[in-house]
């Protein structure tokens, strides 16, 4: 096989509680304490609510907006920003071959309908029949299309005209890691020239809070930094966010005169047994395989879930990392499938803006899955 090709990041699209676009997010990397938390709407669960967006700017047709639920709108919006940034928006010929990998969950529910059905099921003589009747009359077809994980990609195709082909990865945090990993690997191996990769997450949903509360994974106090939560039991603060990256082979980007934010090295991912030092070993091994220097800026995707977050911190300390260690969770909260792509985008911006010579992005999923990416200067 021929030598692997360099993979550069030529487009970034970000949306979070801090706002949209690259500038505010670069600022969040250097300006500790820049964050926006809502502690009342879903109390006792704090969430980072998405900043208000003018959807029309990236999703011009109201009919398209109506066909989506919020998590999909966030993703379609961020993908549009990434295309703008890469200079690909409206470039029909290139969009027709642009590939896509999306990391996504699903949803969303109609909360009122769910509540009414749960109440009715109690009293129903024939609960199954009652359920059928209510679902047949109360479900909106668009909710189904919003529930399907691959319909974020589908909506991006429709709204932005990206029709190379799409694949959707699922599986919480690790879906984001593997989406970026596979995208980088396909381009490096010549299996694709350009891929838009990313994810979106809407944290402002009681149904997803419910899943993670059942897992004892949520932080239920006032805001505290990720690395300072373990004394009170730990947990993550969900954040609404979306991140998309346009990745291209360096030669392909150069040929069209595109500017590169940074270069993305091969991404590492793991499924390690976490007990008995397994997690620490996996993280240290990925760090060493990445070839990152000790002075790299670390953008940790740590959740705040106690033991694993402490283990990550201790591993980084044992590696004697001399660069700053910043948690993306402190800036935008925890955005599950979107967290790792978001971290890689921040890393690219940090390197491009001279905040560090190189940056390392980590991911330790709240339940499973580990990943690490190294981002270096484009030149």
DSSP 220: -
Residues 85-104 touching another protein, rule: CB under 8 A, are 100
- Residue 11 as a binder of another protein (CB under 8 A): the answer is no
Q: Does 163 bind another protein (CB under 8 A)?
A: yes
Q: Which of residues 292-351 bind another protein (CB under 8 A)?
A: none
Q: In sequence order, which residues have a C-beta less than 8 Å from that of residue 237 and are 6 or more positions away?
A: 37, 45, 46, 47, 48, 218, 219, 223, 304, 329, 333, 334
Question: Among 17-25, 170-178, 193-201, 304-312, which window interacts with another protein (CB under 8 A)?
Answer: 170-178
Closest approach of Cβ 368 to another protein, in Å? 6
- Indicate whether 114 belongs to the interface with another protein (CB under 8 A): yes
| From 158, 223, 319, 377, residue interacting with another protein (rule: CB under 8 A) | 158
Q: Is 107 near another protein (CB under 8 A)?
A: yes
Query: Per-residue x/- marks for another protein, 184-203, CB under 8 A?
Result: -xx--x-x------------
* 11 membership: H or E segment, kind and range: strand 7-16
What gap in Å lies between CA 12 and CA 332, rounded to an integer? 16
Q: Which helix (H) or strand (E) holds 264?
A: strand 262-264
| Binding piece for another protein, criterion CB under 8 A, among 29-37, 83-91, 124-132, 298-306 | 124-132
Among 53, 55, 148, 284, contact with another protein (rule: CB under 8 A): 148
Phi-psi region of 333 (alpha: psi -120 to 50; beta: other; left: phi over 0): left
What's the sign of the alpha-carbon dihedral 17, 348, 151, 88?
positive
Range in contact with another protein (rule: CB under 8 A) among 8-16, 25-33, 128-136, 287-295: 128-136
- The nearer residue to another protein, 50 or 267, going by C-beta atoms, is 267
C-alpha of 261 from chain center = 19
Q: Which residues pair with 269 in a beta bridge?
A: 371
């Amino acid at each position: 096989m021929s030598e692997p090709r360099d993979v550069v990041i030529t487009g970034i699209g970000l949306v979070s509680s801090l706002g949209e676009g690259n500038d505010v997010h670069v600022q969040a990397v250097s300006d500790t304490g820049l964050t926006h938390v809502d502690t009342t709407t879903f109390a006792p669960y704090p969430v980072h609510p998405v900043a208000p967006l003018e959807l029309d700017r990236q999703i011009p047709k109201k009919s398209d907006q109506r066909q989506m639920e919020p998590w999909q709108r966030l993703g379609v919006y961020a993908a549009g920003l990434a295309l703008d940034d890469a200079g690909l928006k409206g470039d029909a010929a290139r969009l027709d071959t642009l590939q896509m990998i999306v990391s996504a969950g699903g949803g969303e529910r109609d909360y009122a309908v769910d509540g009414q059905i749960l109440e009715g099921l109690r009293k129903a003589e024939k609960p199954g029949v009652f359920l059928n009747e209510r679902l047949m009359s109360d479900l909106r077809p668009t909710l189904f299309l919003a529930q399907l994980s691959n319909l974020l990609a589908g909506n991006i195709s429709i709204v932005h005209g990206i029709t190379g082909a799409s694949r959707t990865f699922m599986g919480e945090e690790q879906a984001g890691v593997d989406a970026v990993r596979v995208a980088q690997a396909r381009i490096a191996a010549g299996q694709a020239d350009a891929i838009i990769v990313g994810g979106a997450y809407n944290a402002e949903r009681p149904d997803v809070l419910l899943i993670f509360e059942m897992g004892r994974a949520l932080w239920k106090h006032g805001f505290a930094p990720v690395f300072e939560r373990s004394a009170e039991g730990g947990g993550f603060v969900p954040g609404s966010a979306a991140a998309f990256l346009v990745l291209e082979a360096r030669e392909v980007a150069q040929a069209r005169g595109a500017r590169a934010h940074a270069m993305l090295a091969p991404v590492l991912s793991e499924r390690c047994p976490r007990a008995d030092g397994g997690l620490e070993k996996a993280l240290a091994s990925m760090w060493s395989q990445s070839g990152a220097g000790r002075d790299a800026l670390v953008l940790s995707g740590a959740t705040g879930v106690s033991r694993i977050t402490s283990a990550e911190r201790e591993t980084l300390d044992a590696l004697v990392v001399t660069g700053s260690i910043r948690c993306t969770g402190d800036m935008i909260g925890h955005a599950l499938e979107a967290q790792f792509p978001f971290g890689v985008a921040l890393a690219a911006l940090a390197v491009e803006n001279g905040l560090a010579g190189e940056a390392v992005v980590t991911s330790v999923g709240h339940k499973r899955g580990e990943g690490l990416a190294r981002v270096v200067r484009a030149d």
